[in-house]
Amino acid sequence: MTNPIQTTISSFVDARFGDETALLAELVKVPSDNPPGDCAAHARRAKELIEKLGFAVEAHPVPEADVRANGMISAINLIVRQRFGSGGPTIALNAHGDVVPPGEGWTHDPYGAHVEQDLQHGATMYGRGVAVSKSDFATYTFALLALRELAAKGTALNGACELHLTYDEVAGGEIGPRWLLDQGLSKPDLLLAAGFSYQVVTAHNV
C-alpha cells in the first residue's frame, strides 16, 4: 500500500527537481577544493542560496587558529534548523561542501556544472561535488522544503530537523561536525553524517 506521506514528498521533489538541480549547479560553480581548504566563500554562497528558498541559515566561522591547525585556510559551518510541532527528536543531517582537487583528465570544466544527455544515464551534470557532497546540500534542502509542504497541508509532524553543512570532510571532520557538537551549537538525538561505506552504523570515529 502506498504511503500518502511518501507520495506527497516524492511529488514535491519531482515538481521542484529543476530548482534543486539549479541549486546544485550554483554550488558546484564555487570552488571549495581541500586542499588548500579555503572554503569560506563557498559557505557564504551556500548561505545566500538557501536563504533565498526561505530558510534561516546560521553561519558559524571556525576560529583561524583551529582552521590552520587542521591544515586549512578558512571554514564557516552552516546550520539550518526547522521545528515541527512542540516535541519529538532532533535529527541532524550532515553534508560537506569541501571536495578533493579535480586533478587532470577532465573533459568538462570541473566548476562548470555542465549538463548533457548521456545515452545510458540521461541528463548528467559534470563538476566537482556533483556526487559528493554538494548534491547533499541540495537534496537535504529540498527534502526539508517537502516536509514544510507536508506541514502546511495539515500533516502532523513532531520533531526538528537540522542541516549541518560543513567543510572539512577531506581533512577529517574535526572542525566541522565535531566542532559544532563540541561548541554546543547542536545537540541532536540522531545524526546522519558522511561515512566511508554503504553500511548503516551507529557510530563514527569523528
In the chain, domain spans: 4-192
Task: For 145-172, write each residue's pLDDT tens digit.
Answer: 999 999 999 999 999 999 999 999 999 8
Residue 141's DSSP bridge partners are none
- Do 114 and 98 meet the contact criterion of CB atoms below 8 Å apart? no
- Specify whether the CB–CB gap between 60 and 185 falls below 8 A: yes
Calculate what percentage of the chain has a pLDDT beyond 70: 93
From edge to edge, which strands make up the β-sheet containing 159-166? 57-61, 76-84, 159-166, 90-96, 190-192
Q: Residue 3 — pLDDT band, cuts 50, 70, 90?
A: confident
pLDDT, position 14: 94
Superfamily of domain 4-192 in CATH is Zn peptidases (3.40.630.10)
Q: How far is CA 130 from CA 21, 25, 113, 121, 173, in A?
A: 10, 8, 8, 14, 20
- Contact (Cβ atoms closer than 8 angstroms) between residue 54 and residue 28: no
Q: Is 21 exposed, middle or buried (0-12, 13-18, 19+ CB in 10 A)?
A: middle
Work out whether the CA dihedral 131, 134, 139, 142 comes out positive or negative: negative
Decide if pLDDT at 196 tops 60: no
The pTM assigned to this predicted structure is 0.93
Residue 206 is predicted with a pLDDT of 45
Q: Computed from CA positions of residues 80, 91, 180, 20, in that sequence, does the dihedral angle turn out positive or negative?
A: negative
CA angle 109, 197, 138 (to 5 degrees): 45
State the average pLDDT for the chain: 93
Pairing relationship of beta strands 90-96 and 190-192 according to DSSP bridges = parallel
Who wins on pLDDT, 197 or 113? 113
Instruction: State percent of the chain over pLDDT 90.
Output: 84
Contact 113, 126 (CB under 8 A): yes
Return the higher-pLDDT residue of 125 and 3.
125
Average pLDDT, stretch 4-15? 90
- Over residues 75-134, the pLDDT tens digits come to 999 999 999 999 999 999 999 999 999 999 999 999 999 999 989 989 999 999 999 899
Residue 194 has pLDDT above 80, yes or no: no
Residue 197 has a pLDDT of: 58
